[in-house]
């Protein structure tokens, strides 16, 4: 099949493609702010912030919330646990679930990371200007279950 036979398609305007590219770019930019100074990877950041701000999250809960494979969430949680930033506790009602909890050391680290995230958020809001509210409304529509 030659390219002449392909249906018309504008990859640069294809929303799923654009969101994937944008998400990767934003994640990489954000990671530059905390990876070198704090040694936190992107999956570790996602797990740590969820442990800090979600109520009694399990590996399964975080996997669903951040769209990461269970193995990546588990490995990130294991690294955070090894560093003394979180603890793992078997759920007494369902032994297959492992609940994660923030340690004092993890809370201290998160209190240093959150201002970096908020500053990054603020720079995005400034770049978007008046379009930010519209973008958030559109994202809310797309993220509805």
pTM summary value: 0.85
The predicted pLDDT at position 41 comes to 92
Helix (H), strand (E) at residue 94: none
Q: Looking at the domain assignment, is residue 94 inside a domain?
A: yes
Query: How wide is the angle at C-alpha 79 spanned by C-alphas 62 and 42, nearest 5°?
Result: 55
pLDDT at 55 over 90: no
Please say if the pLDDT value at position 84 is more than 90: yes
In a domain, 59, yes or no: yes
Is 128 contained in some domain?
no
Q: How many C-alpha atoms does 77 have within 13 Å on its Cβ side?
A: 26
Q: What is the CATH number of the domain that holds 36?
A: 1.10.10.10
Q: 101 lies in a domain?
A: yes
Establish if 97 belongs to a structural domain. Answer: yes
Closest alpha carbon to 125 in 140, 115, 136: 136
Can you give the pLDDT at residue 140? Answer: 94
Q: What is the pLDDT of residues 106-135, one digit of tens each?
A: 999 999 999 999 999 999 999 999 999 999
Please check the confidence at residue 98 and state whether its pLDDT lies above 90: no
Percent of the chain whose predicted confidence (pLDDT) is above 70 = 99
Share of the chain above pLDDT 90, in %: 72
Q: Report if residue 129 sits inside a domain.
A: no
Q: How many Cα atoms are found within 13 Å in the side-chain-facing hemisphere of 78?
A: 6
pLDDT at 33: 85
Domain range spanning residue 31? 14-119
How many folded domains does the chain comprise? 1
* pLDDT score recorded for residue 7: 93
pLDDT given for residue 1 in this prediction: 64
- Per-residue pLDDT band at 95 (split at 50, 70, 90): confident
Contact predicate 73/134, CB 8 Å? no
Check if the beta carbon of residue 44 is closer than 8 Å to that of residue 79: yes
Inside any domain, residue 102: yes
């Amino acid at each position: 099949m030659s390219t002449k036979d392909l249906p018309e398609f504008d990859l640069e305007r294809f929303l799923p493609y654009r969101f994937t590219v944008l998400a990767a770019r934003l994640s990489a930019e954000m990671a530059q702010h905390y990876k070198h100074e704090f040694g936190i990877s992107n999956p570790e950041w996602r797990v740590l912030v969820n442990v800090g701000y979600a109520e009694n999250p399990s590996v399964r809960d975080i996997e669903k919330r951040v769209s990461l494979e269970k193995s990546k969430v588990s490995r990130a949680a294991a690294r955070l646990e090894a560093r003394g930033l979180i603890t793992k506790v078997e759920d007494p009602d369902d032994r297959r679930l492992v609940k994660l909890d923030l340690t004092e050391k993890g809370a201290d680290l998160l209190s240093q990371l959150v201002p970096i995230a908020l500053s990054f958020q603020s720079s995005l809001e400034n770049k978007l200007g008046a379009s930010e509210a519209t973008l958030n409304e559109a994202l809310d529509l797309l993220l509805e279950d």
